[in-house]
């Protein structure tokens, strides 16, 4: 079933004295299959070999994937626990000394204990991430609630996937990032891609995207920039940043007006159509064009193509999600599929391009402030009872919901939160409004950071715990399809580094909670407990054993028991997850971005990724090949705008907003709107574009509006001199 | 593993698919025989205008100018047709090959005083395993195809309107690599 037209039966090259360990990439949600080459005499990872038989990516990799193995034995790896005694050095790389695990654990237990004694249980917090296995994500949630006993846990998915989650939950009653497997993508007749720079952020999707056009299908791309995927689109909807909701409403209006609504599907399987139809009536092509800046003809053509297509997939990513109406954008684009009935069958549906490696699984299993494993609400007494039983605690002991990622920094700033355990994330680069966030980190009484490189955020820590890279531990992740896959261990941990789950078990023992953790001796032990804890939840992983994952090339959740093979296609029975089995078509009034351009700040600033870097760049900036390709950030400016500001290609300018400023080299390109400038966000210290971005949060997902704020450029060089 | 050295497939390039990710350059360093040095190129076609990029790989000429120009006869041609990198003990570092190549492919290592070029990952392609660049290419710009598959590609995209150019017949001279220049969709009939 999974051997599609791209599959080739190819044997791998096996070099002498080498072993190949099959696994997946450490980076984005594509989770490309790869083989790590291990030297049998040194037992070290020395290279990569394509994994031709992985059905999703067939051996293909982007430059990050090809060089991912270079993280494992990198010179910058932290090999021992580090302690910094002089708190005045916080925010710098200085003052750390090597320590034993015992000393580090003792110090953490002592400081955490003191803070909780003086300021209460909830004076501590956990900020985690989703570039790690389900097992680690699961145990981190348990560790926060059982070992630390705090309500304050949240994670960097709030900066990445939470709007998609919120939108899918509202529209479908379930949040699985894709309603279909990726092997359907090239077989559809129309791809409508909004706010995804697919070619740079999920490159190994591209052979399937181009294949749609080769078959005579259509590609529609909505993006303020003419990205490499937009360059070849049949229709490029070059909208103003932050106006997706108007565009989606406008297209929905045309679909309904021109008779593309599937009335029998709408009547039988959805709610909310009439109300939505009324609301989108105002979004005539002309009105939509006025808000979005997209030509009327393009809007009409896009609606016509999507409407006529026998099968179509609506896809989106951070471009639409990282807005203060990100959840509305997701539901509004999802409306297109629900109104036309292009969902619940092969080759038709809705998908988001998951940004982080385990962005899907990591948000399902209890790292979110209000969620327990299996996507179970911490406010649902039955779920609390089920999970409490697995964890061996009384339901009354379960902490209440906490707050979202950015809101935790507000609580650090006002000293509600005084202690932090940070892992698998680098918010000192990736959070918005960084002057505030970095200040909040500095105010902490005590901070622990688990990481394998000394990130910009680790610079605020009192104790750094050396974790392992992805290649030195095993476990599962859930890729952007919702397919649970297996990450395999290729090398023993270097130095004294340890997997995060093991640190948490050992630390729990120091915190007097060993009886809830000490039975977890291996990653597999964690996996077994985690499957059980997810049982009965929406994201039920109970049937997804490691053996089944190996046998089937992954397991799509939900997978509820041993016989269940999993669920590659969602909603084939047209049953959605709301109590009445129907999906919700949402009537969503348009709201402009939180900060619109003004006389003082006339430009629209938007941010994103480049193909060579991942997230905050803490990993990829250390890889020589990748850093050589893109060593510095830059600001993309249209030549007409550049002429207005009298600035040239490669000239350094000052870019600023109400919140912050930074200097960037100008990159002139016609592939961006004249009213918009773009800066990639992978860089630290004074180069972080997030010094300038706005922390306007989506009311549901608490996603900051990274994708749109008002900015201005000042020339700082006159006649060869920097002013 | 097959022991025959007859390759059944060839490198085929569809330039318009290129997304500029340069995975091909990164992957080139991963071929066991390449000593971590990449041997190919990716160019920005219109740097101040759009995001169009294109790879430039050795086309493995049937009558290669690099080999003909080599005074030391250091550049050998494999029986598969792959034009190999200069034999280390023969290369005199004169760089004639770089100048002679119509595409500027051979690179020069100043420290070692040696040329090095794409050998089509000969330790892979001799067994019909795709070279590293085509193995990883996420956009199918670089593909490893049989003669029949290449013939199908030609038929699908050569619409006989004189606007279409591929390396068939030949850009410069006959090559073992087939290049499909921008315009790859022009023969496509839309589904609706």
Digit-coded pLDDT (tens) for A176-187 = 999 999 999 999
The chain B residue lying nearest A626, using CA atoms, is B26
Which residues of chain A have a CB within 8 Å of the CB of B138? 60-62, 203-207
> Pick from A228, A531, A201, A234: which is nearest to A353 by CA?
A201
- Alpha-carbon gap: B71 to the closest alpha carbon of chain A (Å): 34
- Alpha-carbon gap: A218 to the closest alpha carbon of chain B (Å): 8
A-proximal residues of B, 61-120, CB under 8 Å: none
Q: Please give the pLDDT value at position B6.
A: 45
* Inter-chain residue contact B29 with A309, CB threshold 8 Å: no
| pLDDT for residue A452 is more than 70 | yes
User: Is residue A147 within a helix (H) or strand (E), and if so which, with residue range?
Assistant: none
Tokens of A23: 């696994």
* Inter-chain residue contact A231 with B140, CB threshold 8 Å: no
The residue of A17, A20, A39, A50 whose CB has the most chain B CBs within 10 angstroms, and thus the best one to mutate to test that interface, is: A50
* Inter-chain residue contact B191 with A11, CB threshold 8 Å: no
The set of long-range contacts for A503-509, using a CB threshold of 8 Å and a minimum separation of 24, is A503/A450, A503/A465, A503/A467, A504/A139, A504/A140, A504/A143, A504/A147, A505/A139, A506/A101, A506/A105, A507/A105, A507/A108, A507/A109, A507/A143, A507/A147, A508/A143, A508/A146, A508/A147
Which residues of chain B have a CB within 8 Å of the CB of A229? 19
Return the domain boundaries, chain B: 9-180
Contact with chain A for residue B136, Cβ under 8 A: yes
The structural domains of chain A, ordered by start, are 18-71 (3.30.200.210), 82-160+402-521 (3.40.50.740), 162-352 (3.40.228.10), 603-722 (2.40.40.20)
The chain B residue lying nearest A30, using CA atoms, is B138
Q: Please give the pLDDT value at position A3.
A: 80
Q: Please give the pLDDT value at position B3.
A: 40
- Mean pLDDT to the nearest integer, A523-549: 96
* Inter-chain residue contact A671 with B48, CB threshold 8 Å: no
pLDDT in tens, B89-140: 999 999 999 999 999 999 999 999 999 999 999 999 999 999 999 999 999 9
Pairing of strands A33-39, B142-146: unpaired
Asked whether the bond before A17 is cis by omega within 30 degrees of 0, the reply is: no
- Alpha-carbon gap: A399 to the closest alpha carbon of chain B (Å): 45
pLDDT in tens, A123-171: 999 999 999 999 999 999 999 999 999 999 999 999 999 999 999 999 9
Task: Please tell me what DSSP assigns to residue B160.
Answer: S
Pairing of strands A124-128, A419-423: parallel
pLDDT in tens, A576-617: 999 999 999 999 999 999 999 999 999 999 999 999 999 999
Query: Measured between alpha carbons, how far apart are the two ends of chain A, in Å?
Result: 64
- Mean pLDDT to the nearest integer, A518-531: 97
Beta-bridge partner residues of B187: none
- Alpha-carbon gap: B151 to the closest alpha carbon of chain A (Å): 16
How far is Cα A473 from Cα A145, in angstroms, rounded to an integer? 24
Contact with chain B for residue A67, Cβ under 8 A: yes
pLDDT in tens, A36-46: 999 999 999 99
How far is Cα A178 from Cα B22, in angstroms, rounded to an integer? 28
Q: Which of B123, B136, B192 sits opposite A13 (nearest CB)?
A: B123
The CATH number given to B9-180 is 3.30.70.20
pLDDT in tens, A682-706: 999 999 999 999 999 999 999 999 9
Q: Write down the mean pLDDT value for chain A.
A: 97
Task: Please tell me what DSSP assigns to residue A146.
Answer: I
Collapsing DSSP states into helix, strand and coil, what is residue A537? Answer: coil
Pairing of strands A475-478, A483-487: antiparallel
State the complex-level ipTM: 0.95
How far is Cα A155 from Cα A701, in angstroms, rounded to an integer? 12
């Amino acid at each position: 079933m999974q051997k599609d037209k791209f599959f080739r039966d190819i044997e791998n090259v096996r070099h002498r004295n080498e072993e190949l360990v099959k696994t997946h990439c450490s980076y984005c949600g594509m989770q490309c299959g790869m083989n790590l080459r291990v030297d049998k005499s040194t037992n070290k990872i020395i290279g990569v070999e394509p994994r031709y038989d992985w059905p999703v990516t067939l051996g293909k990799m982007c430059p990050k994937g090809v060089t991912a193995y270079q993280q494992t034995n990198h010179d910058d790896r932290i090999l021992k626990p580090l302690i910094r005694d002089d708190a005045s050095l916080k925010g710098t790389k200085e003052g750390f000394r090597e320590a034993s695990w015992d000393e580090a654990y003792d110090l953490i237990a002592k400081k955490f204990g003191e803070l909780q004694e003086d300021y209460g249980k909830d004076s501590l917090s956990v900020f985690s991430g989703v570039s790690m296995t389900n097992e680690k994500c699961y145990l981190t949630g348990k560790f926060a609630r059982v070992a630390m006993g705090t309500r304050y846990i949240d994670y960097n998915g709030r900066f990445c996937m939470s709007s998609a989650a919120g939108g899918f939950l509202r529209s479908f009653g379930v949040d699985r990032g894709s309603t279909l497997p990726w092997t359907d993508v090239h077989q559809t007749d129309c791809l409508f891609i909004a706010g995804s720079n697919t070619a740079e952020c999920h490159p190994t999707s591209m052979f399937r995207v181009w294949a749609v056009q080769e078959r005579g299908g259509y590609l529609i791309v909505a993006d303020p920039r003419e990205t490499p995927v937009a360059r070849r689109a049949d229709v490029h909807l070059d909208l103003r940043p932050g106006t997706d909701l108007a565009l989606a409403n406008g297209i929905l209006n045309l679909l309904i007006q021109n008779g593309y609504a599937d009335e029998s599907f709408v009547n039988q399987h959805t709610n909310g159509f009439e109300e939505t139809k009324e609301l989108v009536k105002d979004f005539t092509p002309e009105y939509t064009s006025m808000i979005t800046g997209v030509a009327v003809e393009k809007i009409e053509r896009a609606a016509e193509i999507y409407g006529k297509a026998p099968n179509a997939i609506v896809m989106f990513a951070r471009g639409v999600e990282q807005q203060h109406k990100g959840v509305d954008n997701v539901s509004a684009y999802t409306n297109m599929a629900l109104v036309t009935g292009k969902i619940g069958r092969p080759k038709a549906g809705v998908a988001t391009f998951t940004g982080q490696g385990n962005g899907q699984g990591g948000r399902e299993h209890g790292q979110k402030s209000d969620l327990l494993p299996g996507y179970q609400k911490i406010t649902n007494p039955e779920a609390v009872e089920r999970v409490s039983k697995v964890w061996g605690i009384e339901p009354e002991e379960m902490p209440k919901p906490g707050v979202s990622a950015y809101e935790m920094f507000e609580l650090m700033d006002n000293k509600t939160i005084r202690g932090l355990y940070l892992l698998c994330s680098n918010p000192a680069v990736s959070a918005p409004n960084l002057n505030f966030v970095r200040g909040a980190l500095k105010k902490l009484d005590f901070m622990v950071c688990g990481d394998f490189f000394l990130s910009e955020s680790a610079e605020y820590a009192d104790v750094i715990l050396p974790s392992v890279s992805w290649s030195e531990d095993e476990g599962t992740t859930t890729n952007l399809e919702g397919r649970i896959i297996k990450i395999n261990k290729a090398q023993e941990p270097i130095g004294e580094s340890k997997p995060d789950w093991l640190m948490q078990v050992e630390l729990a023992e120091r915190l007097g909670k060993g009886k809830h953790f000490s039975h977890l001796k291996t990653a597999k032990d964690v996996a077994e407990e985690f499957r059980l804890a997810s049982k009965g939840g929406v994201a039920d992983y109970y049937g997804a054993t490691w053996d089944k994952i190996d046998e089937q090339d992954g397991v799509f959740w939900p997978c509820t028991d041993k016989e269940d093979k999993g669920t590659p296609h969602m909603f084939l029975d047209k049953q959605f997850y709301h109590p009445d089995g129907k999906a919700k078509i949402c009537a969503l009034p348009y709201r402009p971005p939180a900060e619109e351009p003004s006389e003082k700040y006339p430009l629209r600033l938007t941010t994103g990724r480049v193909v060579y870097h991942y997230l905050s760049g803490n990993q990829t900036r250390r890889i020589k090949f990748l850093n050589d390709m893109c060593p510095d950030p830059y600001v993309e400016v249209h030549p007409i705008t550049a002429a207005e500001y009298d600035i040239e290609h490669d000239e350094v300018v000052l870019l600023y907003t109400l919140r912050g400023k930074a200097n960037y080299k100008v990159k002139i390109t016609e592939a961006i709107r004249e009213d918009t400038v773009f800066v990639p966000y992978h860089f630290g210290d004074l180069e972080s574009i997030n010094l300038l971005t706005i922390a306007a949060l989506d009311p549901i997902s608490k996603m900051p509006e990274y994708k749109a704020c008002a900015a201005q450029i000042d020339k700082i060089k006159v006649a060869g001199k920097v002013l | 593993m097959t022991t025959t050295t007859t390759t059944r497939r060839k490198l085929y390039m569809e330039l318009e698919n290129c997304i500029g990710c340069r995975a091909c350059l990164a992957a080139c360093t991963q071929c066991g025989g390449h000593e971590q040095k990449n041997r190919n190129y990716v160019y920005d076609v219109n740097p101040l205008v759009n995001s169009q990029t294109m790879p430039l790989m050795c086309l493995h000429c049937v009558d290669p100018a690099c080999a003909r120009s080599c005074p030391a006869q250091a550049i050998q041609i494999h029986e598969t047709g792959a034009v190999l990198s200069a034999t280390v003990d023969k290369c005199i570092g004169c760089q004639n090959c770089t100048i002679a190549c119509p595409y500027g492919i051979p690179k020069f290592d100043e420290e070692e005083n040696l040329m090095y070029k794409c050998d089509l990952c000969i330790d892979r392609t001799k067994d019909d395993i795709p070279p590293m660049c085509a193995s990883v290419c996420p956009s199918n710009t670089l593909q490893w195809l049989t003669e029949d598959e290449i013939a199908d590609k030609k038929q699908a995209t050569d619409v006989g309107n004189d606007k279409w150019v591929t390396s068939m017949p030949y850009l410069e001279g006959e090559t073992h690599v087939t290049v499909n220049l921008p315009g790859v969709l022009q023969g496509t009939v839309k589904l609706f």
